[in-house]
Amino acid sequence: MMLVVAPALALTLDEAVQRAAEVDPGAVVATLSWKQAQLDAAERWSGVLATAQLGWQSTSLGGVTTDTSNFTLSSGALDPQAYFDAAEQSAQARSARHSADATTLDAQYAAAVLYHSVLSAEAALLAAQQGEEVAQATLAAVKARVAAGLDSELVGRSAEAAALLARADRASADSLVRVSRLQLARALSMPASDLGALAEPADALLPGDSMASPYLDAARESLAAARWEHGQDIAGLLPSGSLATSTALDPVDWRVTIGATWTFDGLAGPFLRERNSALAVKIAETELDAARRDLDLAIDSARTQSRAAHDVAEAARAREALAAESLKVGQLRLQAGLASTLEVLLLQETLADARADRVASELAEQVAILEARRAAGERW
């Protein structure tokens, strides 16, 4: 009998991001709010369309019963306020859609940053474990030298202190891994025990120059909604009309009724509403300009930080390569009897530190690139 066990698949970055978009409370609420705004817009437009009414009435007078029936078809086609109101609600629905997209993107990129933080913490833990092993080996070598009279007791005490510090660093790195994994599991609404291993993601690239930001689109639609509302308040100063057709269910007996009304709410009410909505338009214009400037600044800052992080990562890679070459030379010198075991252990410790710095700098570069992509509104 052959027993086949499927290997556990590591959680990928795309899977984590997709799940975050589905379970994040803010993203879920934003999507529901968008659907609610769509229903509000549909309700407003339904008021502009034709409304049918079928009526029946039975009257008994002097023992004689008379039945009457009628059919009425009315429309708010002559009411400009209704059109402006429906257009305003549509603009608000589009703004809600862009806001939902922006909220979802925020949730996705937040999960991506947490994903990278787990990888960074795990890499730091591996480096700390290697550092602890080197510190313990160094301590053993120093104790042997102290026992042989080649080093003083002070050197031995220093090696013991270094080993204790390495153990503390490893414990701190271990706790950081636990905390980062708990944070990622919370963002994905899943138990930390089910998180499992994480797959190493591919390197992220900076966004292009033609990205469409949902943050900016939401501000544009908010301005459009404010302008439609202003038009609605201006239309409130003018007469509004109605159009209705009716018949007593007689193909010949049709009646068409056109009406017009001109109302003032406390005389000054419409004028005050118009001034209020005009100020709302100016506020929306100012917010749109501010959002455009903030977005440009955020993208430029993120690009600058990502380039700086790239330079740091290049320097860290060069340092790691130099430490690796130094270790090779030290091992050759040890074989030739020109270097001690303690020197080689110190070179190994230097290489472990360089490797940890390289991993941390590369992950910091990827996080900076993710921030630039988030600011540009790049979709997953």
Residue 60 lies in a domain: no
Say if 169 falls within a structural domain: yes
Cβ neighbours of residue 357 under 8 Å, at least 6 residues apart? 316, 319, 320
Contact 139, 159 (CB under 8 A): yes
Give the pLDDT mean for 267-293.
88
H or E stretch at 298: helix 269-335
Can you tell me the mean pLDDT for 340-355? 86
Indicate the pLDDT class of residue 184, thresholds 50, 70 and 90: very high
83 assigned to some structural domain: yes
Name which of 17-21, 248-252, 322-326 the model is least confident about.
Answer: 248-252
Q: Does residue 192 form part of some domain?
A: yes
Is residue 298, in this structure, part of any structural domain at all? yes
Task: For the chain, report the end-to-end CA distance as a whole number of angstroms.
Answer: 45
Domain count, the chain: 1
Alpha-carbon torsion (17, 19, 21, 26), positive or negative: negative
pLDDT at 2 over 50: no
pLDDT digits (tens, 9 = 90+) for 24-55: 999 999 999 999 999 999 998 887 877 777 77
Instruction: Answer whether 318's CB lies under 8 Å from 358's CB.
Output: no
Burial class of residue 105 in the structure, from the number of CB atoms within 10 Å of its CB (0-12 exposed, 13-18 middle, 19+ buried):
buried
Amino acid at site 281: V
- CA 70 to CA 135: how far, in whole Å? 97
The C-alpha atoms of residue 240 and residue 264 are separated, in whole angstroms, by 12
- Pick from 6-20, 58-72, 289-303 the range whose average pLDDT is largest: 289-303
Mean of per-residue pLDDT scores for the chain: 86
178 vs 118: CA distance, rounded Å? 9
- Which value, in Å, is the radius of gyration of the alpha carbons in the chain? 36
pTM equals 0.77
Q: How far is CA 350 from the centre of its chain?
A: 38
Q: Is residue 241 part of a domain?
A: no
- Which CATH number belongs to the domain containing residue 301 in this structure? 1.20.1600.10
Residue 258 counted as domain residue: no
Structural domain containing residue 360: 13-48+68-235+271-376
Q: How far apart are CA 170 and CA 122, in angstroms?
A: 11
263 part of a folded domain: no
Distances (CA, A) of 55 to 48, 76, 259: 21, 20, 21
What are the structure tokens assigned to 135, written together? Answer: 């510190």
